[in-house]
Structure 1
Amino acid sequence: MKESILSLSPGLWKDYELIDTGGFEKLERFGEFIISRPEPQAIWDKSLSESEWRKRAHAHFAKEKNNPEKGRWEQLKKMPHNWQISYENQAGLNMKLNLAQTSFKHIGLFPEQAVNWDYIYQTIRNFPGNKPKVLNLFAYTGAASVAARAAGAEVTHLDAVKQVVTWSRHNMEASNLDGIRWIVDDAMKFIKREARRGNFYQGIILDPPAYGRGPDGEKWVLEEQINEMLKVCAEILDPKEHFLLLNMYSLSFSSLIAVNLIQSNFNNVQNAEHGELYLEDSFHKKLPLGIFYRFRSF
């Protein structure tokens, strides 16, 4: 098993740049526009001054005092509410991704996941035999789904929020693709139904939130339910040819937790990697942004 700390190679993604981090915030460029927003892991000092941050940023996300998960965007320079960027890699993946300012500080993209998009794309391109059936759970706005579809997979994209599934469809269409199967459902309920039906997938992608709600109010708590979810995923993952990618963002989680979860629920795990994802700012400070575990049978 290989332990890794993975990040984008600086400069390879022309439409994204992590400019500075610190003071519980991050300053990022997406295409032509620069935004600043909260980042709980950035507990160190900023390298640039506060005035320089405000001078550079087009928009700043200000948290609500009573609800740190919500807030509003303060417009500092003229920029659109919605815009689009590109992602390309050296293996031939080329995606167009739609961004927007939301009330939850997110913009529809987690750039540290680019290393996983590359992994998904290359794994499917090299998949033995027929192209795989891939299930993307907690799929959000679907960059991983688009990467899998671009590589030729038969993709099922599942999220509990109808609006982000619609957003994902727009990302697929902007990338000149079609054919993704869209599901609005609770992830646990869906995979249990698939297990009862005897359905198998050759690829499973999971990026569960720390907390969440299903479309009918179903409660999701990562620590309480991820073990059960992986047990069910083991039932529907093709035992012969397969890959699985697990990503988790929780301030309290070590990648060793992912190791224990996978090893206790899956047999014959091969070609495994686990570790941290991070992004490096222009001052060489490394911002940790979650843990991952991924394995494949070939």
Structure 2
Amino acid sequence: MNIERDVLSRLLKSYPVSSLRTYFDLTGLRQDDLVEDVLSSRTRGEILIFAFEQFGYLHQHIYIFDLNTTASSTFNLAGGIVVSDNAVDGKRILNLTFRTEFSYFNPSSLSEEELYFMTPVIVELNGLRAVIKINILERNVNNYFNHKVFPTGRNIEDSDIIGRIRTAMGGSMSFTPTDVTVGVKYLWENNFIDAAYVKFKKSRSTTTESMDEEHTLKDSMPDVYTQITSAPLDKNVFRVLEDVDEFINTFAIEPRNGKIAITRFPNMLNSADRLVQMIIDNN
């Protein structure tokens, strides 16, 4: 279950079928067939190149941080693998992988076992800002068995990965989540996005508004939107209203924590990056 071929197979299945078919010039229709074709004809190195070149199509958590100092060239990563470290368009781009282990109790063997996954991570360093993009791993280990097993945990979370990255940059480096509330409110004010769900602070309480079906808050409840314009935002889900085909239909965001969650396949390879850059540019 955990030989290299199995782990690479699970990695490839994180990507949309259209990405596999187009990138590797395949003609199959079923994901299992496409993955088998890739495993039979490509090396581990070629598969990792695909994984990072097509990263934009993944479900991902994106974290935006302010740095207290520019990063040095030193990057001593423990508990992960540095696949590449390059300068691209004025940014330092580090492509990393981490092994995520999902543990479970297997009644067939009467023992606790692990299932390994390769988690691709991209770190973008630009002056005093870092953007860390982590493939979301929400796996049901029962999907990999013909009998029921009982999940018991996983070895690392996003916070562990970010901690290892921060340590790799040296003890004097600190990461402070970037508050992107201003950038989000700018896109909202200019009708690029509208909320499907919002959680915001009032003077003495926290309020949530969850919209039905395809309705959005500013369009349906302009009075509530007016209240929110001067309030801190907590957890929110937004729908993109303009150029939807080039972006993402929906995304979740915690503006004050600089965290964005992309839980659907983006429509284009650079959709998530463009969205993040729009928020940063207008923050």
TM-score by length of 2: 0.29
Q: For the pair shown, which has the larger CA radius of gyration, 1 or 2?
A: 2
- Higher relative CO (Cα under 8 Å, sequence separation at least 6) belongs to 2
Which of the pair is proportionally richer in helix? 2
